[in-house]
Amino acid sequence: MQKADGMNYAPVGRSRPVCGPGDFRFGVIGLDHGHINGMTNGLLEAGGEVVLVWDPDPKKVEAFCRTYPQARPARSEAEVLDSGVQLVACAAVTSQRAAVGLRALDAGKDYFSDKAPFTTFEQLDAARRKVAETDRIWAVYYSERLHVEAAVLAGNLIAEGAIGRVIQVLCLAPHRLNAQTRPAWFFERDEYGGILCDIGSHQIEQILFYAGAEDAEILHSKVGNYAHPEYPELEDFGDVDLLTDNGVSGYLRVDWFTPKGLGSWGDGRVFVAGTEGYLEMRKYIDVARDLAGDHIYLVNDREERHISAEGSIGYPFFGRLILDCLQRTRTAMGQEHTFKAAELALTAQARALRIEPGGRACNRHGGNT
């Protein structure tokens, strides 16, 4: 698995099917982001079968089918939507994902979107209405928790009371830009939504989950372009301070400043403080010690311990999502939780103070509304 480029980072786990051959068939629409490979891997390992793929770029379809030869190129998006697949997975341009989801639900399919699922509040409102109308599932690939074994295991430890009651969740999420490999839309804010809308949505979802919260208030947010004037619509830094509805303090920092010397696309870390201890997740690398990821450092009243989560627990989200689609349940992730993480990311983006070049701040907001 390549670890240099986060856009094409696609975790591979053990096969843990939750259904029989042919029981769950899914199609793919939109190949603009490499996360579609991670989404596809997770569904395949849980017993799904990818049968159709559509993108207007035949070269992208050809590359996808080389990786997943069981997928057949569709002649159009409509062919996927009119087929017998139970779910549509999508990693189109960020601003286009909501429209694909609306069409998928209208066609009687459940929907699995890459993050960020929306770039405007209007898209989010339309998705909420469509889910209420159709009773279909609108899932989102918040991969920085769902596709990281350390993040999954840490959630279990917290739920078991290993650190007492959670009082703060802090997420640090640097990413490597690799600007030369990025498509043009990646640098257009109306298309990608802004840094807090985009990679910030991962972190907000984690804060809500580890806090056991249903909602939060955005206390402060800011964005800036510190070092990439050649891409004036890129935001290479952002942070958010928030407070959840159950009193947990949350902070996140996202940026595009992973240095070339790091052996991974990002040194993603999450720190969770509790009343009886704390833990840290070093997700993708343990700097200067271990190129492998999935490390947890746990300290509480009984012990201090290092836990290697790699290979320990797998990625249960995907199997739960398949069973939710088959059984019409909501065990993988609550629908309102899915939408609330996106809503708070949009809110943080819309309210963000913009840091001007040279470090001067002004009162212009940073995002779309």
- pLDDT value for 257: 98
Rounded mean pLDDT of the chain? Answer: 95
Query: Comparing C-alpha atoms, which of 174, 189, 175, 145 is closest to residue 7?
Result: 175
Return the pLDDT at 26: 98
Tokens found for residue 22: 């042919």
What confidence tens digit (pLDDT) does each residue in 208-222 have?
999 999 999 999 999
Cis (ω within 30 of 0) for the bond into 116?
yes
Q: What is the pLDDT of residue 13?
A: 85
Residue 190 has pLDDT above 90, yes or no: yes
pLDDT score recorded for residue 42: 98
pLDDT reported for residue 295: 98
Q: How confident is the model over 229-240, as a mean pLDDT?
A: 97
**How far apart are the C-alpha atoms of 250 and 310, rounded to whole Å?**
26
The average pLDDT across 231-248 equals 98
Class of the 6-141+316-332 domain? alpha beta
pLDDT value at residue 3? 72
C-alpha–C-alpha distance, residues 353 and 221, integer Å: 6
Place of tokens 């769950």: 24
Encode pLDDT of 24-35 as tens digits: 999 999 999 999
User: What's residue 2's pLDDT?
Assistant: 60
Residues 6+ apart with CB under 8 A from 278: 163, 271, 272, 298, 299, 300
Q: With helix as H, strand as E and coil as C, how does the chain read?
A: CCCCCHHHCCCCCCCCCCCCCCCCEEEEEEECCCHHHHHHHHHHHCCCEEEEEECCCHHHHHHHHHHCCCCEECCCHHHHHCCCCCEEEEECCHHHHHHHHHHHHHCCCEEEEECCCCCCHHHHHHHHHHHHHHCCCEEEECHHHHCCHHHHHHHHHHHCCCCCCEEEEEEEEECCCCHHHCCHHHHCHHHHCCCCCCHHHHHHHHHHHHHCCCCEEEEEEEEECCCCCCCCCCCCEEEEEEEECCCCEEEEEEECCCCCCCCCCCCCEEEEEECCEEEEEECCCECCCECCCCEEEEEECCCEEEEECCCCCCCHHHHHHHHHHHHCCCCCCCHHHHHHHHHHHHHHHHHCEEECCCCCEEEEECCCC
User: Going by CATH, does the domain composed of 145-313+347-355 fall within 3.40.50.1820?
Assistant: no
Query: How long, in residues, is the chain?
Result: 369
The per-residue pLDDT for 356 is: 84
The token duo for 210 is 């580890």
pLDDT for the residue 1: 56
Q: What is the pLDDT of residue 362?
A: 64
Q: Which residues contact 107 (CB under 8 A, 6 or more apart)?
A: 81, 82
Average pLDDT over residues 226-246: 97
Contact 34, 40 (CB under 8 A): no
Which structure tokens are listed for 345?
């990311």
Short-list 57, 61, 58, 77, CA closest to 69: 61
Whole-structure pTM value? 0.96
Q: Among residues 249, 227, 216, 212, which one has the least CA distance to residue 334? A: 212
Q: What angle is formed at CA 188 by the lines to CA 185 and CA 189, rounded to 5 degrees? A: 130
Q: What is the mean pLDDT of residues 136-160?
A: 98
pLDDT digits (tens, 9 = 90+) for 63-81: 999 999 999 999 999 999 9
Question: Looking at residues 235-242, what average pLDDT do you find?
Answer: 98
Q: How far apart are CA 270 and CA 267, in angstroms?
A: 10
- Cα–Cα separations (whole angstroms), residue 124 to 107, 171, 254, 276, 336: 19, 24, 22, 38, 11
Confidence band for 9, pLDDT divided at 50, 70 and 90: confident
Residue 4 has pLDDT above 90, yes or no: no
Whether 368 shows a pLDDT value over 50: the answer reads: no
φ, ψ for residue 24 (rounded to 5)?
A: -135, 110
The CB density around residue 171, as the number of other CB atoms within 10 Å, is 27
Per-residue pLDDT for 369 more than 90?
A: no
Residue corresponding to tokens 């509304």? 369
Mean pLDDT of 162-182: 97
Residue 345: other Cβ atoms inside 10 A: 33
CATH 3.40.50.720 residue ranges for the chain: 6-141+316-332
Tell me the per-residue pLDDT of 84-135, one tens digit each, with 9 for 90 and over.
999 999 999 999 999 999 999 999 999 999 999 999 999 999 999 999 999 9
